[in-house]
Each structure stands twice: as structure tokens, then as C-alpha cells.
Chains A and B, each alone.
Chain A
């Protein structure tokens, strides 16, 4: 494929997936500004990696995997920064949500974002993708590389943990 072909494909990806990826990342990082910055980096990575995409997976899965990895890297750095201030990631994200002018949820939504942030990585991902984005277990399995059965179990555990957290904190 020549440069023009890649540009055409890239523009199609932008058109089809930019909004979807925005919400995917936003649920993880909470802040609109952080999401906007991350999206730029994600699509730059997609553009750079496009020549190496050989169609082994679906385009949707491939694009989601890049976005997920970037968001998780961002959260890992945020976790370290939070720890240096003796703060948990959940508290840090709650503070971010409260300060974000584009967050209009109440205390319950803030506690929910804290509960999600407190989950282990895989449970957090499967919960967000299933609960907020209505992805099927098969789609999540293709993105995360975990079996659908294991994901169902993870989701169930995550759900119970969140329920308990909210019962104790709201």
C-alpha cells in the first residue's frame, strides 16, 4: 500500500473510531484534558504502526489494543506520581474528576470512579469495556488476549467488589 493508501485508511479509522476510543480512554483516565492528550498520542501510534498491520486481527481489536495500552501506561505513571504524594490512584482520580469542568456527576459517580480505580488492572479493563462500552466478552477477549470464560469471572468479581465499595462509602 502506498502513502496515499495509508492516509486514506488512517482517515477512515479516525472517522470510525475516534469518538469510541475517546470514551474508552475517558472511562479509564477520567479527565477530559488527559483523554484529549492521550488520544493524540494514540492516533500517532496508530499512524506509525499502520504499515505493520497485517490483518492478523480485526482493525477494531488492533486499534483498541493500542488505545488500552497507552491508557494503562498513563495510569501506571499517574499511580507512581500519586504514591509519591502518599495518595492512592483512586483518590487521585477522584480529585481529578472533582476538578474537571467536564465532569458533572455527583458523589456517587466519584466513588464509582474510585472503586474502579482500586480494581486490579484486568478486572478494571473488563468492567469498563463491559459495563460502559457494552462490548461482548468475545470482543474483550480479542483485545485483552484473555479467554472469554476468564473475563466473565473477572467481571463478576469486579462487580461484587464495586458493590461492596459503594455500600461502604456512599
Chain B
């Protein structure tokens, strides 16, 4: 090389260089194997979190199954015939029936006018 008097190298550099470069295939193989080993604990941790999540979801579903009944009642309310008001508004529990006096008091207390109830007076 023309400029060997400008650039030089440490003594024995090229012998050492060949030896170091020849180790590359082995280094690459070892790093490929160790790469998985480095990731393995994180994969195990992620798998345990997923397992806990699934078990927790299953457990919660089993213990809260009864609470869905009211929701299902409401959900299927549309299929109850409209001609049966009691089926819509009634319940299995006994309750006091609404009297006519109750209805009158309600209407008066809510400022219901005669026009609204279509009351006709004979004149």
C-alpha cells in the first residue's frame, strides 16, 4: 500500500485480527441461544398474568350470575303483550292496589285541568 508510512498498526495486529474474526460464527450461535433464555422469564410472567386474568373472569362470572335476572327481565319486557298492563307493571309481591281516591288526589296535586281529562259539563 502506498501510504504504509502514514498509517501503521500495532505489532501482531493482523494475526490477532484473524483469530478474533474466526470466533464470530460461534459467538453468533451462542447469542441466538441466549437470546431466548433472556426473554424466557418475561414470557413466563406474561403467561401467569393471563392465567390469573382468565381465572378471575371465570370466578366473577360464576358468582354474579344471579344479578343478571333483573336485567334479563327488563331486556325481554318488549315481548310482554301491551294489553296486559299488570304483566308490565305488576310484580309477584303483594302490594297495595291504587284506589280511585289515590288517582284523584294525584291528578289534583299535579294541576291537571278539566281540559286534559276531557270533562264536559252540561250547560
Contacts and interface: CB of A to CB of B under 8 A. Distances in A.
Interface of A: 3, 6-7, 10-11, 14-15, 18-19, 22-23, 26-27, 32, 36, 39-40, 43-44, 47-48, 102-105, 109, 131-133
Interface size grouping (class) on chain B: 10 to 19
Given A19-B14, A133-B1, A26 B21 contact: no
Nearest to B16: A36
24 contacts: A3-B25, A10-B24, A14-B21, A18-B14, A18-B17, A18-B18, A23-B7, A27-B7, A32-B7, A36-B17, A39-B21, A40-B24, A43-B24, A47-B24, A47-B25, A47-B28, A102-B9, A103-B7, A104-B5, A105-B6, A105-B7, A132-B1, A132-B2, A133-B1
A131 B18 contact: no
Label chain A's interface by main secondary structure. helix
A103 B6 contact: yes
B72 interface: no
B77 to A, nearest CB: 68
A7 B23 CA distance: 10
B6 A40 contact: no
A104 B9 contact: no
B37 interface: no
A164 B7 CA distance: 23
Contacts of A10: 22, 24-25
B80 to A, nearest CB: 72
Contacts of A7: 25
A50 B25 CA distance: 11
